[in-house]
Amino acid sequence: MATPSLPRALCLGLLALCLLAFLHNACARPRSGEGLIGGRRDLSPSDPQVQKAAQAAVASYNMGSNSLYYFRDTNILKAQSQLVAGIKYYLTVDMGSTACRKNMATGDGVDIATCPFATGVQEEVIGLHPTSRRHGQGVSGLNRSGWPG
């Protein structure tokens, strides 16, 4: 009795098609140094856009913090961006508490950059990811122990 050759040919053809699709996908992956579309890209902490995003993130952090004193950043340790509907920045920042109280008479007019750091206060490393959108900036997540989840 002869075995049917059509089902065998279809199975072999389907297997070959799957193998070709797998090989094409493996070859289409970015090489090292290239990022995926929509993936995170490393930035220089001294980049002006990173500095601007860090200022916005620290201001938002201070507004949401229950601390009596303002915080300010001392050093941007790591910066990344991700292109989504806008640009999303992921920052790891050293921050320290200042001697400037939030209830000072000047209110929102406090220049945090000139506030001296409080003595005896330990600095914290905080992961921030402020978002830069077409219509403004905001902070969409904060994490005291590293990158937001």
Can you tell me the distance from the alpha carbon of 65 to that of 97, in angstroms, rounded to the nearest whole number?
11
In a domain, 34, yes or no: no
Helix, strand, or coil (residue 102): coil
List of residues 6+ apart from 13 with CB closer than 8 A: none
**CATH number, domain with residue 117:** 3.10.450.10
- 35 located within any domain: no
55-94 pLDDT, tens digit each: 888 888 888 888 889 998 888 999 998 888 888 888 988 8
Higher pLDDT, 54 or 4: 54
Q: Is residue 70 part of a domain?
A: yes
Evaluate whether residue 120 is within a structural domain.
yes
pTM of the model: 0.59
**Quick check: 142 pLDDT over 90?**
no
Q: Which domain holds residue 107?
A: 40-143
The rounded distance, in Å, linking the Cα atoms of 144 and 149 is 11
The per-residue pLDDT of the chain, averaged, comes to 73
Total domains present in the chain: 1
Q: Is residue 53 part of a domain?
A: yes
Q: Is 66 among the domain residues?
A: yes
pLDDT (tens digit per residue) in 94-117? 888 899 888 755 556 778 888 888
Q: Are 94 and 146 in contact (CB under 8 A)?
A: no
